[in-house]
Amino acid sequence: MIIIRLVYESFRFAWNALTQNPLRTILSLTGVTIGIFAIIAALTVVDSLKANIKDSLSFLGSDVIYLEKWPMTFGPDYPWWEYMKRPEVEYNEFKYLQDNLTNATSMCFFAVAGGSTIKRKSSSIGGINFWGTTEGHIDLFDIDIIEGRFVSSREFSFGTNVAVIGHDVKEALFQATESPIGKEITIRGMKFTVVGLMKEVGETLLGTPSNDLSVIVPFHALRKLYYTGKNRGLGTALWLKGGANDIGLIELENEVRGLVRIYRGIRPTEKDNFAINRPEAIMNSLNGVFDVLTMAGWFIGIFPSWLAPLA
């Protein structure tokens, strides 16, 4: 009975306060309502921003490691000239790993000539990422072919002059209703036959590489136009995808490190002259930014609710 009486008296007191001060009641409820909606809106915007940032970095892939000359992140006071002396990853090195690796489900060796100009008849488009790559490219990168096909194994092996183009390249070089399949484009004076068209991706929040501004050709076809060597020419990289049972890709990374050291003749007492990079390193560095964004969202959302007691 005492509990019931206390509850009753609490409701009666609250009702009297609300009815005796209607203006204060309205202002208080308005402030609380605004505060709740502001918190929801601010956190929704923050979540959307975080999702867009992660989508912008989706090109980095998942369950993959990269064998490259340069690391993704540099520690403080690290002598940069040691990186300069490192050799680029070579195609023969890729073939060696392809023949000996047991923990990789797919791998791709490539070089990219950024800022390339693609021409067709009197039309041209600049700022294109011109990819020379190998057969595993479609397994590691987010490629969606909406017309035609991807490069075949035979075309990769023989370096045939075929190309898969992005949406913006198609829009710049072809009529709106014209199919690019089977037509020729020109890159540095060399003709390539278009065999595939990639799906439109659109702009990313961070301006990261997009398939819309890309042209993909076999690696051996790119080598007809650009030099790729140990210490000059286009930079090269090797991406490797691990198996589902290799948690953290530890087995794949250890196997790659061991084989590359053997291939390059690195002695046990010598440091690696290559970098094994992981895409999660970039995401981990962004976690602090995400935390700040979340705190900012809470602060922005809670601020309007502070007006309620002032009513």
Structure tokens that stand for 189 in this block: 């004076």
> In this predicted model, what pLDDT tens digit does every residue of 109-130 receive, in sequence order?
999 998 999 999 999 999 999 9
> In this predicted model, what pLDDT tens digit does every residue of 173-190 receive, in sequence order?
999 899 999 999 999 999
Provide the H-helix boundaries in 72-227: 80-84, 91-100, 137-140, 153-158, 167-173, 219-222
Q: What is the rounded CA–CA span in Å between residue 239 and residue 131? A: 14
Confidence of residue 311 (pLDDT cuts 50, 70, 90): very low
113: phi then psi, degrees, rounded to nearest 5: -100, 100
Confidence of residue 21 (pLDDT cuts 50, 70, 90): confident
Instruction: Let me know: does 194 contact 163? Beta carbons within 8 Å.
Output: yes
Most confident of 129-143, 173-187, 245-259, 281-295: 173-187
The CA-to-CA distance between both ends of the chain, in Å, stands at 36
> Hey, what's the torsion of the CAs at 71, 65, 285, 203, to 10 degrees?
100
Q: What is the rounded CA–CA span in Å between residue 156 and residue 223? A: 12
Domain boundaries, the chain: 2-57+286-310, 59-278
Beta bridge partners of 238: 67, 109
Instruction: Let me know: does 68 contact 274? Beta carbons within 8 Å.
Output: yes
Q: How many residues does the chain have?
A: 311
